[in-house]
């Protein structure tokens, strides 16, 4: 047996620490990074080979053979395997699960692996038999298409052509029949962009681009530029440099920042093979993009969080747009932060990485100040437009109608009358955040969470935003029988309704998760905003990023106070970021903008800093506060979470975990304490917070927890997880 088989080490997607050894036929050619199908206990799983010809501590006679080798060419190259090993170690998560998280869903399954999407494209013929100039005099559409394809040089995807020239099918067919263009097969999942003419850089942009060009090797840079300062143009210049050098670019954007506008800008700038990875793409498409990237066929990969794990053998540049965005941190399973993983990846590959934002995370600003990142600033808008003025509306003792105060309505009116657009931002979807009995004070609770139910659809439905429970709203108070039930506060639906009643002739569009549930709806609504068909926009976070609304001159933010008084130490930072980002949507072009914040705390020092000093002024004050309290970035956190149906079990488990920590001056362990939301979806939740003055202090404890806690008797009664650098303590 020994001659015919070799021993390989496989990472299997199970919540167990460690890897497992198997046998494989010597002739199979198994390489690290290839997937194998194996028996694990009574299950059949897909694992990833992490080493071959290993010395197993288990006798060969007791090792099982793999069922099947799935990839002749490894899916993970050596660099990516190394990155995932680091990620699994840093976040204290089993390697097999980390590798599975990195894989597109279709490649985690056995059946779908053979599927590929076909991707047709067109290319101009190099030496056509006829002269297009004379042949196409009376076919302007064909001429236009041919000119575009010739300018592109490369093949352009059929779908890209149709998107840009609706109804292009017939002229394309005619061009092909004339022998002027030919059909080609593009690698699945990729599309080819068209070369576009870049704008002349502004003087500020020029300085930044030249400075970035001067760096070599691992060169992390923070590009802090106010909204509209032309950060994207800076990325594009550095991308062009990278592509010209024959290397690949990885572009990360937050889920809601990865707008059709951004992808269109990429497509109409680079005559390159582009792969797009986001949640709206099918599993098959994502798998195709991944494979094309691994084969080196994709020049640019643009995607959300998990795209940071795309294999790219020629990787030459990483961009993390809106680097402060919370969606870069995964909140379950492998709790990685894509920005931080991207930094590690750039370091391993010795390549530049650009972190861009108008509102950098305090951690990133801290790194920049400490000299770890090159810090480049753009303080003016590229178009010369002025930044909007931000002012407060004091709503203490003012009645609100659907969340809107009278002064805000008065300020919106002239903008609408002048034919401009107005945006109202409220960080809460639904109709109202609570249903209350006017007579006895009862409020509708979620029966599975420590949270109030959100009222949806004008008092008709109650939905819990934490666990998804839904029920019909009662018509009378279940506690006292009174029929005086009132919806307290406002969400997007109620605000939209109030605006419609104040401005009956103005078209209103709502942007939130509920209204965008249907595919293509966001694109359609954005198109209406661009054309001017929509004049009033109401929405959540979804409106805060990336969009360029030329006619938007006024922004109203309905509640900033939640960010000022919260158990979450990052709440103020998030408030300042979102206010600055939504404000940045106003007055983008030639029309000046104004921004109004409704508040009951007009004297709050953090608001004052934001208004006086903008985000940089706010960040200065917020960093000083973090320093005083030794919170990140001045201290390091890890959270051990546990939950169970019985409230005692998480507590017992966490107490046992706490007992394993030796007392040490610079390492503190707080808890166990109930989580701020002590019950969610029927489970009681508690946590233990580990605080270290230095990061190095945390990891030995976490290592021990990762390997030992699973063996505690109390562990069998809870769900538990480790969260390194937690973004929230909820």
Binding mask 231-270 for ligand ADP (x = CB under 6 A): xxx-------------------------------------
Query: Is residue 229 involved in binding ligand ADP (CB under 6 A)?
Result: yes
Query: Is residue 580 involved in binding ligand ADP (CB under 6 A)?
Result: no
Query: Is residue 434 involved in binding ligand ADP (CB under 6 A)?
Result: no
3 state DSSP class of 718: coil
CA–CA distance, 552 with 555 (Å, rounded to integer): 8
Span near ligand ADP by CB under 6 A; candidates 198-206, 275-283, 443-451, 564-572: 198-206
- Which pair of structure tokens corresponds to residue 63? 């090792």
Q: Among residues 466 and 585, whose Cβ is nearest to Zn ion? A: 466
Min CB(559)–ligand ADP separation in Å = 25
| Partner from Zn ion, ligand ADP, none contacting 464, C-beta within 5 to 8 A by type | Zn ion
- Which pair of structure tokens corresponds to residue 706? 């990762």
| Partner from ligand ADP, Zn ion, none contacting 218, C-beta within 5 to 8 A by type | none
Cα 706–Cα 304–Cα 520 angle in degrees, nearest 5: 135
Question: Residue 682: which region, alpha, beta or left (left: phi > 0; alpha: psi -120 to 50)?
Answer: left
Q: Among residues 231 and 324, whose Cβ is nearest to ligand ADP? A: 231
Could you say which DSSP state residue 445 is in? Answer: B
Interface residue with ligand ADP, options 180, 382, 509, 718 (CB under 6 A): 382
Query: Is residue 383 involved in binding ligand ADP (CB under 6 A)?
Result: yes
User: CB within 8 A of 34, min separation 6: which ones?
Assistant: 48, 49, 69, 70, 71, 72, 73, 74, 75
Query: Is residue 227 involved in binding ligand ADP (CB under 6 A)?
Result: yes
3 state DSSP class of 153: coil
| Partner from Zn ion, ligand ADP, none contacting 199, C-beta within 5 to 8 A by type | ligand ADP
Min CB(330)–ligand ADP separation in Å = 25
- Which pair of structure tokens corresponds to residue 201? 């850089």
Q: Which residues pair with 686 in a beta bridge?
A: 642, 674
Query: Is residue 225 involved in binding ligand ADP (CB under 6 A)?
Result: yes
| Partner from Zn ion, ligand ADP, none contacting 357, C-beta within 5 to 8 A by type | none
Q: Among residues 199 and 246, whose Cβ is nearest to ligand ADP? A: 199
| Partner from ligand ADP, Zn ion, none contacting 230, C-beta within 5 to 8 A by type | ligand ADP
CA–CA distance, 594 with 604 (Å, rounded to integer): 21
How far lies 353's CA from each of 234, 339, 389, 604, in Å?
Answer: 12, 10, 33, 37
- Which pair of structure tokens corresponds to residue 699? 């990891």
* Cβ atoms of 315 and 324 closer than 8 Å: no
* Cβ atoms of 229 and 357 closer than 8 Å: no
Min CB(546)–ligand ADP separation in Å = 8
| Partner from Zn ion, ligand ADP, none contacting 44, C-beta within 5 to 8 A by type | none
| Partner from Zn ion, ligand ADP, none contacting 201, C-beta within 5 to 8 A by type | ligand ADP
Could you say which DSSP state residue 115 is in? Answer: -
Q: Among residues 227 and 598, whose Cβ is nearest to ligand ADP? A: 227
User: CB within 8 A of 200, min separation 6: which ones?
Assistant: none
CA–CA distance, 715 with 115 (Å, rounded to integer): 40
Per rule CB under 6 A, count of chain residues that contact ligand ADP: 16
- Which pair of structure tokens corresponds to residue 53? 């010809």
How far lies 11's CA from each of 44, 92, 99, 333, in Å?
Answer: 13, 15, 8, 16
Span near ligand ADP by CB under 6 A; candidates 201-209, 510-518, 598-606, 617-625: 201-209
Q: Among residues 202 and 248, whose Cβ is nearest to ligand ADP? A: 202
Q: Among residues 372 and 645, whose Cβ is nearest to Zn ion? A: 645
* Cβ atoms of 615 and 359 closer than 8 Å: yes
Query: Is residue 469 involved in binding ligand ADP (CB under 6 A)?
Result: no
Contacts to ligand ADP from residues 523-562, by CB under 6 A: 548
Min CB(355)–ligand ADP separation in Å = 13
Query: Is residue 230 involved in binding ligand ADP (CB under 6 A)?
Result: yes
Angle, nearest 10°, between helix axes 95-102 and 78-90? 120
| Closest by CA position to 555, among listed 526, 530, 588, 524 | 588
Residue with token string 């040490």: 664
- Which pair of structure tokens corresponds to residue 206? 């020029």
| Partner from Zn ion, ligand ADP, none contacting 442, C-beta within 5 to 8 A by type | Zn ion
Query: Is residue 199 involved in binding ligand ADP (CB under 6 A)?
Result: yes
Query: Is residue 581 involved in binding ligand ADP (CB under 6 A)?
Result: no
| Partner from Zn ion, ligand ADP, none contacting 382, C-beta within 5 to 8 A by type | ligand ADP
Please report, as ranges, the residues that interact with ligand ADP according to CB under 6 A: 199-202, 205, 225, 227-233, 382-383, 548
């Amino acid at each position: 047996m020994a001659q015919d088989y070799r021993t390989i080490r496989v990472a299997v997607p199970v919540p167990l620490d460690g890897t497992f050894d198997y046998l494989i036929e010597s002739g199979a050619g198994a390489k690290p990074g290839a997937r194998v199908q194996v028996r694990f206990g009574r299950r059949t799983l897909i694992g990833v080979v992490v080493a071959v010809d290993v010395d197993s501590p288990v006798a060969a006679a007791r090792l099982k053979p793999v069922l099947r080798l799935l990839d002749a060419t490894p899916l993970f190259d050596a660099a990516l395997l190394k990155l995932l090993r680091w990620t699994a170690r840093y976040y204290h998560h089993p390697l097999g699960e980390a590798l599975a998280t990195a894989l597109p869903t279709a490649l985690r399954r056995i059946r779908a692996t053979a599927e590929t999407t076909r991707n047709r494209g067109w290319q101009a013929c190099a030496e056509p038999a006829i002269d297009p100039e004379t042949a196409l005099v009376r076919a302007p559409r064909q001429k236009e298409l041919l000119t575009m394809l010739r300018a592109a040089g490369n093949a352009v995807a059929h779908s890209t052509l149709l998107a840009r020239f609706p109804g292009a099918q017939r002229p394309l067919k005619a061009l092909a029949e004339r022998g002027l263009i030919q059909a080609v097969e593009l690698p699945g999942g990729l599309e080819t962009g068209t070369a576009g003419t870049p704008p002349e850089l502004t003087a500020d942009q020029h300085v930044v681009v030249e400075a970035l060009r001067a760096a070599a090797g691992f060169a992390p840079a923070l590009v802090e530029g106010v909204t509209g300062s032309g950060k994207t143009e800076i990325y594009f210049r550095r991308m062009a440099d990278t592509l010209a050098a024959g290397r690949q670019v990885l572009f990360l954007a937050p889920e809601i920042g990865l707008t059709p506008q951004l992808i269109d800008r990429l497509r109409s700038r680079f005559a390159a093979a582009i792969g797009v990875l986001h949640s709206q793409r099918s599993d098959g498409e994502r798998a195709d993009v991944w494979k094309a990237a691994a084969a080196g066929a994709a020049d640019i990969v643009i995607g959300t969080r998990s795209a940071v794990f795309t294999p790219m053998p020629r990787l030459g540049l990483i961009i993390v747009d809106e680097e402060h965005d919370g969606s870069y941190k995964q909140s379950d399973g492998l709790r990685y932060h894509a920005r931080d993983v991207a930094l590690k990846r750039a370091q391993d590959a010795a390549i530049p990485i650009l972190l861009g934002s108008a509102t950098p995370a305090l951690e990133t600003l801290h790194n920049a100040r400490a000299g770890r990142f090159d810090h480049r600033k753009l303080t003016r808008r590229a178009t010369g437009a002025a930044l909007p003025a931000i002012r407060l509306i004091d709503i203490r003792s003012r009645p609100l109608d659907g969340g809107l105060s009278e002064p805000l309505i008065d300020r919106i009116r002239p903008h609408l009358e002048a034919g401009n657009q107005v945006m109202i931002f409220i960080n809460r979807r639904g109709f109202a955040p609570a249903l209350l009995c006017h007579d006895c004070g009862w409020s509708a609770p979620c029966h599975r969470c420590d949270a109030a139910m959100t009222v949806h659809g004008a008092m008709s439905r109650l939905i819990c935003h934490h666990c998804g429970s839904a029920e019909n709203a009662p018509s009378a108070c279940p506690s006292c029988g009174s029929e005086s039930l009132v919806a307290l506060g406002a969400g997007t639906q109620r605000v939209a309704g109030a605006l419609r009643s104040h401005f009956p002739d103005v078209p209103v569009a709502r942007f939130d998760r509920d209204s965008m549930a249907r595919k293509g709806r966001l694109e359609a609504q954005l198109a209406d905003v661009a054309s001017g068909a929509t004049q009033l926009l109401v929405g959540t976070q979804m409106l805060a990023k990336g969009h360029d609304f030329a006619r938007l001159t006024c922004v109203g933010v309905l509640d900033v106070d939640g960010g000022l008084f919260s158990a979450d130490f990052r709440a103020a930072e998030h408030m300042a970021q979102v206010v600055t980002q939504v404000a940045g949507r106003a007055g983008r072009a030639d029309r000046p903008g104004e921004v109004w914040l409704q508040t009951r705390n007009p004297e709050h020092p953090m608001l004052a800093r934001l208004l006086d000093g903008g985000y940089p002024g706010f960040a200065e004050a917020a960093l000083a506060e973090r320093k005083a309290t030794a919170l990140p970035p001045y201290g390091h956190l890890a959270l051990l979470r546990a939950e169970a149906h019985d409230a005692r079990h998480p507590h017992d488990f966490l107490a046992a975990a706490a007992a394993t920590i030796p007392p040490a001056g610079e390492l503190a362990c707080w808890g166990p304490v109930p989580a701020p939301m002590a019950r969610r979806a029927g489970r009681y939740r508690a946590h233990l917070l580990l605080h270290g003055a230095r990061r190095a202090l945390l990891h030995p404890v976490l290592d021990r927890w990762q390997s030992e806690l699973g063996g505690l008797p109390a562990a069998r009664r809870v769900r538990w997880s480790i969260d390194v650098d937690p973004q929230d303590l909820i």
